[in-house]
Structure 1
Amino acid sequence: MRDRLILLPGWGLGTAPLQPLAEALRGLDPRLHVDIEPLPMLESSDPADWLDELDATLPLDAWLGGWSLGGMLATELAARRGERCSGLLTLASNLRFVAESDWPAAMPAETFKAFRQGCAVDAPATLKRFTLLCAQGAVDARGLSRQLLGAAPQPQSATLLAGLDLLANLDTRAALQAFVGPQLHLYAGADALVPASVAQALLELLPDVEVGLIDNASHAFALERPHEIAAAIQAFLHEVGDD
């Protein structure tokens, strides 16, 4: 099923931000089957629970990919499946979302803690702030933020908090090193949530994987510039297919 790509969305905003990218990919290659699968609606922050549900739901032998949190989960599932995963694609996904001493290219722990506290107090207001952060760095940041918020599902505080705790718990470095299939990791140069420096840090960890940086783009670059992202993905899939 090398002609099938499963995309997982990021935290809190549903599948809509990935729809234009999926359509652009289908337009470039009608033979490529692109599906966007929603994240599990869990109140657990244990990565194993999320991976168990995804593993039971998603087809085998497909490419796995995702945006931000979705990309981190796709990475862990790809490592779990090994040869039963055709390849891995991540979009603006950090290896650790919250910084620690041996991975500084991430959100400061205090910033994340304050964000989580805000979500516990007022989830809708926090989600609105999150869309502004996702859109920061875009040419039309306000318009992109309104587009993200307008299509977002109604926030459920318990699942949003579980997703944030999952973000804090995930560390995909070991999974990336364990997965031997083809990998493409794309980052945004003006990302306010995942520093562009992650691209270089990832290459230092895994020099043999394909890493791309889209200049002057926001964290929501899959929605902001879907055709450019689709072209980069399609070129990589074509290159891998020729090998």
Structure 2
Amino acid sequence: MRDRLILLPGWGLGTAPLEPLADALRGLDERLQVEILPLPALSVSDPEAWLDALDAHVPQDTWLGGWSLGGMLVTALAARRGERCCGVVALASNLRFVASEDWPSAMPAPTFAQFQQGCASDARATLKRFTLLCSQGAEDARGLSRRLAACVTDEPPEVLLAGLAVLSALDNRAALPSIIGPQLHLFAGGDALVPAEASAAVLALLPDVEIGLIDGLSHAFPLERPHEIAATVQAFLHEAGDE
């Protein structure tokens, strides 16, 4: 359904950070059905198990969108579904979250390992740190971090750790070219988790996808500037629908 968009959230913060964006999208186009679905509450760290769970519960033949980990998952799911997916909207979502020699535009591996260790020892404190990282680069970073802190979920540590393991394991470089529908990948210039340079790396990998790099915004830009992001997404969906 070209008038239906399913959104998946990022790690550890539930669906609440995407609600303002969903409301803004509905306000721009009353025909567009926007639904936010939670990530799988799984304690297994195999990305294929997460994709199996999503494939079983996410409606077919819709637009798939997601923020951060959610964006990585919908990209992989769209590649799996082929013609059963209208296209992809990925927000602050890298193709690989953890840097490697052949994908340096990502979080350094030692930094991610420290984050995982922190989550294993004190998940609550790690989530608080995560909200600060998500809001870093925002015009009102303190206010945004408080809004994100109110969104922190009560997922058990094993689910949080499994989510981090999936985040580390996902590599969508091979999936990206196999997606049949149109793609929009939006990045933020001030993102402390997904480097702005990832936008150029994605474009170099697949030049015919639509890439946007928005200066002066944080990793949590869907919550920071929901109306601005909604206008960009709606324009993309409208243009893709006319093709």
What corresponds to 1:230 in structure 2?
A: 230
What corresponds to 2:76 in structure 1?
A: 76
Shift of 1:214: 1.2
Q: Which amino acid aligns with 1:43?
A: S
Aligned counterparts of 2:113 and 2:155: Cα–Cα separation in 1: 19
What corresponds to 1:95 in structure 2?
A: 95
Say whether 1:139 aligns with 2:139: yes
Shift of 1:155: 3.9
What corresponds to 1:51 in structure 2?
A: 51
Aligned counterparts of 1:191 and 1:230: Cα–Cα separation in 2: 19
Length-normalised TM-score, structure 1: 0.99
Aligned residue for 1:213, secondary structure, equals: strand
Say whether 1:65 aligns with 2:69: no
What corresponds to 1:39 in structure 2?
A: 39
Aligned counterparts of 1:39 and 1:231: Cα–Cα separation in 2: 25
- Percent identical residues: 71
What corresponds to 2:219 in structure 1?
A: 219
> Structure 1: 5+ residue runs without aligned partners?
none
What corresponds to 2:107 in structure 1?
A: 107
Aligned residue for 1:35, secondary structure, equals: strand
Aligned residue for 1:98, secondary structure, equals: coil
Aligned residue for 1:151, secondary structure, equals: coil
What corresponds to 2:153 in structure 1?
A: 153
Aligned counterparts of 1:84 and 1:96: Cα–Cα separation in 2: 24
Shift of 1:58: 0.8
Stretches of 4+ moved more than 6 A in 1? none
Length-normalised TM-score, structure 2: 0.99
Q: Which amino acid aligns with 2:48?
A: A
Q: Which amino acid aligns with 2:226?
A: P
What corresponds to 2:7 in structure 1?
A: 7
Contact 1:105–1:197 under 8 Å retained in 2? yes
Aligned residues: 243
What corresponds to 2:17 in structure 1?
A: 17
Q: Which amino acid aligns with 2:78?
A: A
What corresponds to 1:177 in structure 2?
A: 177
What corresponds to 1:119 in structure 2?
A: 119
Aligned counterparts of 1:155 and 1:88: Cα–Cα separation in 2: 27
Aligned counterparts of 1:239 and 1:65: Cα–Cα separation in 2: 16
Aligned residue for 1:232, secondary structure, equals: helix
Aligned residue for 2:73, secondary structure, equals: helix
Contact 1:134–1:218 under 8 Å retained in 2? yes
Aligned residue for 1:5, secondary structure, equals: strand
Aligned residue for 1:118, secondary structure, equals: helix
Contact 1:124–1:155 under 8 Å retained in 2? no
Contact 1:61–1:85 under 8 Å retained in 2? yes
Shift of 1:197: 0.5
Aligned residue for 1:173, secondary structure, equals: coil
